[in-house]
Amino acid sequence: MFPLPAMTNYWLIATILCYAASFAGYVTFLATSHRNAGRAATLLLALGLGAHYLALVVRSQGSHTVPYDDLYGSLSLFAWLLAATYLGLELFHRQRSVGAFVLPVVLIVMLFAGRGPAVPAGQPPASGPLLALHITMNVLGYAAFALSFVLSLIYLVQNQLLRRHRLQSAVWQFPALETLERMSRSGVVVGLFSLLVGISFGLMWFHRIYGRYWNGDPKEIITLVILAVYAGYLWIGRTAAWRGARASALCVINFVFVLFSYSIVNLYLSGFHRFF
Amino acid sequence: MEIVLIGLNHRTAPVELRERVSFTANQAQQAAEELRSKGVLSETLVLSTCNRSELYGVPPESAEDSTGAMELFLATFHQVELMALGPSLYRRRDREAVRHLFRVSAGLDSMFLGEAEILGQVREAYQIAVDHGATGPVLNRMFQAALEVGKRARSETDIGKRPVSVAFAGVKLAEQIFGSLKGHSALILGAGATGEQVVGHLRDRGISRLRVANRSRERAQELAARVGAEVVDWETLPAALEWPDMIVSSVSSPEPVITREMIERAMAARSNRPLFMIDLGMPRNIAASVTRLYNVYLYDMDDLSEIVEQNKRAREAEVPRVEAIVSEHVDKFEVWQASVETGVVLGELRTRLQAEREAFLRERPAAMQHLSAEDRQRMAQLMDEMVSRVLLEPAERLKGVRDLRRKLQNLEALRDLFQLNREKP
């Protein structure tokens, strides 16, 4: 499928296989409601997370920090945290039916990450526990937002099906509207929390090295914007005018800022943050 | 070991006849006792629901024509002419009796395909029989397997998944919006039968608060008392609409009793928390334009009937998968039955040969006169060992036969050749 690099990271292959099998399990569960298919999917996802962790460890050997300085590594980290956050939400809300929509996102990111070299070419310019925590927590934040994005999208679809009386099978397989809303909100809460913590670590790290907090990097500005729009969602989503579909639409739109931060800002605007 | 079943159900008998031969829990127990004390059956179980009356049993080894005796018993017990009963009865043996029970418990034999109640009724009938010691190893095994089949059919296939009644479809739809109904509230308008069915399902699904409103306060109070709800004055209806998460309306009224303005006001008062409404009225009770309001979900009788039709077809499509589960368990049961049978036949064979040995020694006292008591005992022991050795290989072979049919044939042959047939001392 993809040309394997010279130094093959077998854990990465195991990870992708586990995620793919887990995806198949979630789809089967969604289509047939077989409880065992759902259980198998969750188990495979957990196995995949384990293998993925080892893949990340193998990848980071030598650089002594979490992968952030190369696109593939940081995507892999993103996928891992996305899958982990999803598993957390699934277990917390006891709701398996959205796995079929989250796993494809994880898989696509992983397949892309898997195309990169098994071990990054050069030594990253900076390392240290503060930086590692800053990166991990921020990426976790973005992963949680991505999850809320998927959940809100499903909410919008389910809401349309219910309002238009399209009562074919999909309606019965999706989680309830209120469950989706709750899951989406908990995703945002997790995201906001980890982003705040991540930013704090980043600022501390920056202060230690350069003696000041604010760098004026466009990435810092867009991150503050992201914090603001998601905090806004949490607040506005409980008001009379917005609760329900409008709040979910807002959550979907908010994710555009995350994508903007991840793409345009990283590639063209920021000199400092390259891949996360 | 034989299993027999006679019974009638909604397919074979009209409701008048089914009513006459149905058993209350007490009668079921009494019938089971009589069947055993009269020696008709050694293990019995009576399964009686609104759609079926069935007698399951294991006759004693020596019994002949046990179904005939069971039919006669059923007719006498309920004082029904045997002639009137006969044509409606089905009679099944062994494999077919087992399959019948498994299909019943999987919901394949129900009036509403895949309905869930039957599994509970089978469990209850089994529990009663066990409590009174009416069952034995065979029926225990068989009914435990039947419960497992029922569970698997419902968890592994969609046979019982989607609602096939309008009332239940409405409640399931509410769950697609609210998730669990715990912590939610419902207002019932009108005291009609379908409305009451919905209420029953709402209660089953754990709804927290229920209120009832009706033009005639008396009827509202009756319904409220039956289902454990509060009564709301019909006159305060507009204000009462602010309170519930769910409204079920089945009022007979020529024009809508709930207008768009009323719901608009209610939604403002409940700060747009989702409102789910089922309109079972004919003509409709709720202005159709409320569907355009934000966070309002309205379904009428047609919507729900359509779901029900779709779901019925979906359930029918699941039948082959359920039949496969049934067959799997029928085979499994038969394998168990054959292995038990093997043990029984081998045991009988050994007893038989030992009896021969004893008779053999007893018939020849003269030949053993010169032996001391100790030697005689030793000799008997050696002959027992000999019997064991002779039996060893055939026993191993018999147990090792994989093919079920052949195994049963072998067992039958053994019984036949050594005259082990149903001759209990």
Residue A233 pLDDT level (bands cut at 50, 70, 90)? very high
| Per-residue pLDDT tens over the stretch B283-325 | 889 998 999 999 999 998 888 888 888 888 888 899 999 999 9
The alpha carbon of residue A87 is apart from the nearest alpha carbon of chain B, in Å, by 20
| Candidates B166, B168, B173, B176, partner chain A, best to mutate (most A CBs within 10 A) | B176
Q: Decide which of A83, A101, A121 is a domain's last residue.
A: A121
Residue A159 pLDDT level (bands cut at 50, 70, 90)? very high
Instruction: Name the pairing type of β-strands B4-9 and B90-93.
Output: antiparallel
**Which backbone phi and psi does B296 adopt, to 5 degrees?**
-110, 130
Chain B residues with CB under 8 Å of A178 CB are 177-179, 274
| Per-residue pLDDT tens over the stretch A89-143 | 899 988 888 899 899 999 998 888 777 665 555 555 666 778 888 888 988 999 9
The position carrying tokens 């917390």 is A92
B50, B193, B288, B413: the active-site residue: B50
| Facing residue for A244 by CB, picked from B175, B178, B274 | B274
Determine whether the interchain pair B272/A243 forms a contact, defined as Cβ–Cβ distance below 8 Å.
Answer: yes
Note whether residue A196 is domain-resident: yes
pLDDT value for A64: 62
Mark whether A63 and A156 lie in a shared domain: no
pLDDT value for A63: 62
| Candidates B151, B161, B290, B294, partner chain A, best to mutate (most A CBs within 10 A) | B294
Mark whether A147 and A227 lie in a shared domain: yes
CA distance A3 to A114: 10
Q: Which domain holds residue A69?
A: 9-121
In chain B, whose CA is at the least distance from the CA of A171?
B176
| Facing residue for B272 by CB, picked from A36, A165, A240 | A240
Rounded mean pLDDT of B328-337? 89
Note whether residue A2 is domain-resident: no
Residue A157 pLDDT level (bands cut at 50, 70, 90)? very high
* pTM, two decimal places: 0.70
Residue A62 pLDDT level (bands cut at 50, 70, 90)? low
Determine whether the interchain pair A178/B177 forms a contact, defined as Cβ–Cβ distance below 8 Å.
Answer: yes
Mark whether A214 and A102 lie in a shared domain: no
The alpha carbon of residue B403 is apart from the nearest alpha carbon of chain A, in Å, by 31
Chain B residues with CB under 8 Å of A168 CB are 310
Could you give the C-alpha distances from B104 to B91, B311, B398, in angstroms and in order?
A: 15, 20, 33
pLDDT value for A5: 47
CA distance B92 to B6: 6
**Which backbone phi and psi does B13 adopt, to 5 degrees?**
-135, 145
Determine whether the interchain pair B295/A179 forms a contact, defined as Cβ–Cβ distance below 8 Å.
Answer: no
- Which of A188, A258, A275 has its CA nearest to residue A222? A258
| Facing residue for B161 by CB, picked from A33, A174, A175 | A33
Mark whether A78 and A139 lie in a shared domain: no
DSSP per-residue codes, B24-40: -HHHHHHHHHHHHHTTS
Mark whether A158 and A272 lie in a shared domain: yes
Q: What is the DSSP letter of B189?
A: E
CA distance B368 to B381: 15
Q: How many CB atoms lie within 10 A of CB A126?
A: 12
CB-CB contact of B94 with B3 (8 Å): yes
Mark whether A223 and A259 lie in a shared domain: yes
Q: What percent of chain A has pLDDT over 70?
A: 86
Rounded mean pLDDT of B149-170? 86
The alpha carbon of residue A46 is apart from the nearest alpha carbon of chain B, in Å, by 23
Tokens of A102: 């989250």
The position carrying tokens 């920021």 is A270
Q: Let me know if B50 is a catalytic residue.
A: yes
Q: Does B246 touch chain A (CB under 8 A)?
A: no
The position carrying tokens 């009416």 is B134
Residue B355 carries which side chain, given as an amino acid letter? Answer: A
The alpha carbon of residue A147 is apart from the nearest alpha carbon of chain B, in Å, by 20
CA distance A155 to A179: 9
| Per-residue pLDDT tens over the stretch B215-258 | 888 888 988 888 888 999 988 888 899 989 999 998 888 888 99
Mark whether A222 and A152 lie in a shared domain: yes
pLDDT reading at A184 higher than 90? yes
Note whether residue A1 is domain-resident: no
Radius of gyration (C-alpha) of chain A in whole angstroms: 19
Mark whether A116 and A94 lie in a shared domain: yes
pLDDT reading at A69 higher than 70? no
Mark whether A103 and A239 lie in a shared domain: no
Q: Decide which of A121, A139, A156 is a domain's last residue.
A: A121
Mark whether A140 and A259 lie in a shared domain: yes
CB-CB contact of A190 with A215 (8 Å): no
Domains and CATH numbers, chain B: 4-161 (3.30.460.30), 166-308 (3.40.50.720), 337-417 (no CATH)
pLDDT value for A275: 61
| Facing residue for A165 by CB, picked from B157, B162, B303 | B303
pLDDT value for A12: 85
- Which of A245, A121, A115 has its CA nearest to residue A180? A245
pLDDT reading at B63 higher than 80? no
Q: Decide which of A78, A100, A121 is a domain's last residue.
A: A121
Mark whether A212 and A263 lie in a shared domain: yes
Which 3 state secondary structure label does DSSP give B277? strand
Note whether residue A3 is domain-resident: no
| Per-residue pLDDT tens over the stretch A1-33 | 444 443 457 888 899 999 999 999 999 988 877
Radius of gyration (C-alpha) of chain B in whole angstroms: 31
Q: What percent of chain B has pLDDT over 70?
A: 98
Query: How many folded domains does chain A comprise?
Result: 2
pLDDT reading at B334 higher than 80? yes
Average confidence score pLDDT of chain B: 87
CA distance B283 to A267: 62
Mark whether A220 and A260 lie in a shared domain: yes
